[in-house]
Structure 1
Amino acid sequence: MASIQLKNIVKKYGKGKAELQVIHGVTADIAHGEFIVIVGPSGCGKSTLLRMVAGLEEISGGEIWIGDRVVNQLEPAERDIAMVFQNYALYPHMSVFDNMAYGLKIKKMPIDEIKQRVDKAAGILELGHLLDRKPRQLSGGQRQRVAMGRAIVRQPQVFLFDEPLSNLDAKLRAQTRLEIQKLHRELGITSLFVTHDQVEAMTLAQRMIVMNAGNMEQFGTPEEVYHTPASTFVASFIGSPPMNLLKNAPGGKPGTILGIRPEHLDVRIEGWEVKVETVELLGAERLIYGRVNGEQLIVRVEEGTHSPAPDTIIHVAPRPDRLHSFDADTGKRIPG
């Protein structure tokens, strides 16, 4: 295990007038054994940041420390990391055992130790009964577990995951998330996990880095990011459905955007006047979509609550201790 320090990391492409900066001074301290998720929309720089840690992208500025070493100039093989990609990249002609053992054989490790490491990893990932099969005989979820097993047997200081669940269907993604959580509990290896899926981020992360256009918008626990978002971007990106952000909230202050999550609005006899547009049934809950002062508002209510008809008027009251204020010009959170 090792800590990771990102010190003012910058990434640029091109030179002169054609220069394009895509990562803008990211700084973060990651402790031994932490599981950190880097999350953000497509094109925000999250995979580029991960690839710089891996040594697959050159660093334009700043320092990356893994343990007690600056690794800016080190080749990927010298950084003591193991990476799991979206693409499983398994050798189709090799068995599961040989795929997992290949990197160790290249290092000329004794066969007994190779077998011990592969068997241990296969046990953790429940692959023991599949070691003789070829990749074509496996499901997508099993192939991804083999890719993770190949990383585990190397016993690296750091795991890097680049959207490893994107090729799986929803049920397999949920199952594999549980397996990754179990894997981290058992091995305790420092991990960076990139995803665009905020549900994955919230369920996997001990802490999360929220990226936006190459900037780190917030670095904190899932609870901190959800309950005290640092900006309107974080508030709108984290949470499903996202936080309501109102420029013209009843009683709101000029120059301030008022934020309130859908579950923190209560249907009452009195309160904000909302014209209902539609109601979405989601099993144990309902989402009421409407408008207040011309702006869209989403209200989450529990199953069994009366469903108002479209074009009717309801009244909702925000919970005062759950209101958020953001600067209308910068989008940044206003303390207090």
Structure 2
Amino acid sequence: MASISLQNIVKEYGSGAKAVPVIHNLNAQIHDGEFVVIVGPSGCGKSTLLRMVAGLEEITGGTIAIGDRVVNDLEPAERDIAMVFQNYALYPHMSVFDNMAYGLKIAKVPLEDIKQRVDKAAGILELGHLLQRKPRELSGGQRQRVAMGRAIVRQPQVFLFDEPLSNLDAKLRAQTRLEIQKLHRELGITSLFVTHDQVEAMTLAQRMIVMNGGVMEQFGTPEEVYNRPASTFVASFIGSPPMNLLKQAPGLAAGQILGIRPEHLELSSAGWELKVDTVELLGAERLVHAHLGTETLTLRLDASLAAPAAGQIFYARPKEGCLHHFNAETGKRL
């Protein structure tokens, strides 16, 4: 296992005046054995960053180190990493066992060692009864587990996951997230996991890098990112529904944006006067979408409470200590 050091990382496509920057001077230290998720919208640079760590993309500037080795000029095969992609990339004519063992055979690992490694990985991933099947005989979730097993048997210093759950349905994604958490607990291998899904990021990460337009907006634990977002972008991207961001609210100073999470607004007999637009019932909770003057906001209420109806005027107030203030010009937290 090994730490990952990203120092002043820059990536540009093209050169000179026509160069297009996609990663802007990024710095991050990932600890030995840590599971870090890189999250952000499409086109923010998260997969490009992962591919630079893997050696599949050249870096324009900066230093990438895995453990005590600078790997800028090393080929992917020399970096002691294993990568799991969005598409499973399994050989259709090979059995599950042979797919998992293929890289070890190419590396001329002794057959007995190969069998031990594959059997151990299959046991961790509950694939033991599927080792003789072909990929076409497997479900999507099973194929993804085979792809993870192929990475495990390599016994690398670092796992790199590039949106590995995107092709799975919602139920399988949730199940596979649990399997990945279990896998990390058992193996403890340093992992970088890329996703656009903030739910995946919040549930998997020990720490998370939130990317926006090639810039690292925040690097922290899920609790830090959710409870103290560093910018309006982070506040609006992390959380479902996202944080309410108000440019006009009672008591708001000029040049500021006020943030409040939907669950931190409570019904009251006085306070902010709101008018209901719509109400969504989501089982144990309700989402009330309302207007505060010209601003729109959302409240998350327990379904056991009597919710106001569409068109109704009601009052709500922020819970104490739950307001966030941002600079209106820069979007940064104050």
Name the residue aligned to 2:119.
119
Distance 2:309 2:103 in 1: 62
Name the residue aligned to 2:189.
189
Alignment of 1:318 onto 2:315: no
Alignment of 1:35 onto 2:35: yes
Name the residue aligned to 2:214.
214
Name the residue aligned to 2:2.
2
Distance 1:195 1:234 in 2: 15
CA RMSD, 1 decimal: 0.5
Instruction: Judge conservation of contact 1:250–1:293 (CA < 8 Å) in 2.
Output: no
Equivalence map 1:48-87=2 (5 Å): 48-87=48-87
SS at match of 1:266: strand
SS at match of 1:325: strand
Name the residue aligned to 1:156.
156
Instruction: Judge conservation of contact 1:85–1:161 (CA < 8 Å) in 2.
Output: yes
Distance 2:325 2:109 in 1: 58
Distance 1:16 1:320 in 2: 52
Distance 2:146 2:297 in 1: 45
Name the residue aligned to 1:106.
106
Distance 2:68 2:16 in 1: 35
SS at match of 1:242: coil
Q: Partner amino acid for 2:277?
A: E
SS at match of 1:321: coil
Distance 1:257 1:165 in 2: 35
Q: Partner amino acid for 1:250?
A: P
1:92 is displaced (CA, Å) by: 0.1
Distance 2:107 2:244 in 1: 54
Q: Partner amino acid for 2:150?
A: R
Name the residue aligned to 1:258.
258
1:304 is displaced (CA, Å) by: 1.4
SS at match of 1:164: coil
Distance 2:40 2:283 in 1: 28
Partner deviation per Cα, 1:296-322 (whole Å, 9 max, x = no partner): 110010011112121110100001300
Name the residue aligned to 2:198.
198
Q: Partner amino acid for 2:169?
A: D
Q: How many residues align?
A: 334
SS at match of 2:62: strand
Partner deviation per Cα, 1:109-158 (whole Å, 9 max, x = no partner): 11000000000000000000000000000000000000000000000000
Name the residue aligned to 1:173.
173
Partner deviation per Cα, 1:156-210 (whole Å, 9 max, x = no partner): 0000000000000000000000000000000000000000000000000000000
Name the residue aligned to 1:26.
26
Name the residue aligned to 2:14.
14
User: What is the TM-score with the length of structure 2 in the denominator?
Assistant: 0.99
Alignment of 1:294 onto 2:294: yes
Distance 1:250 1:320 in 2: 15
Instruction: Judge conservation of contact 1:23–1:49 (CA < 8 Å) in 2.
Output: yes
Distance 2:108 2:309 in 1: 70
Partner deviation per Cα, 1:217-240 (whole Å, 9 max, x = no partner): 000000000000000000000000
Q: Partner amino acid for 1:51?
A: R
Distance 1:315 1:297 in 2: 13
Partner deviation per Cα, 1:256-289 (whole Å, 9 max, x = no partner): 1000000000000101000110000000000000
Distance 2:20 2:35 in 1: 31
Name the residue aligned to 1:275.
275
Long gaps (5+) in structure 1 = none
1:21 is displaced (CA, Å) by: 0.4
User: What is the TM-score with the length of structure 1 in the denominator?
Assistant: 0.99
SS at match of 1:252: coil
Distance 2:81 2:190 in 1: 10
Name the residue aligned to 2:305.
305
Distance 1:203 1:6 in 2: 24
Q: 4+ residue stretches of structure 1 with deviation over 6 A?
A: none
Identity of aligned residues (%): 78
Instruction: Judge conservation of contact 1:5–1:66 (CA < 8 Å) in 2.
Output: yes
Long gaps (5+) in structure 2 = none
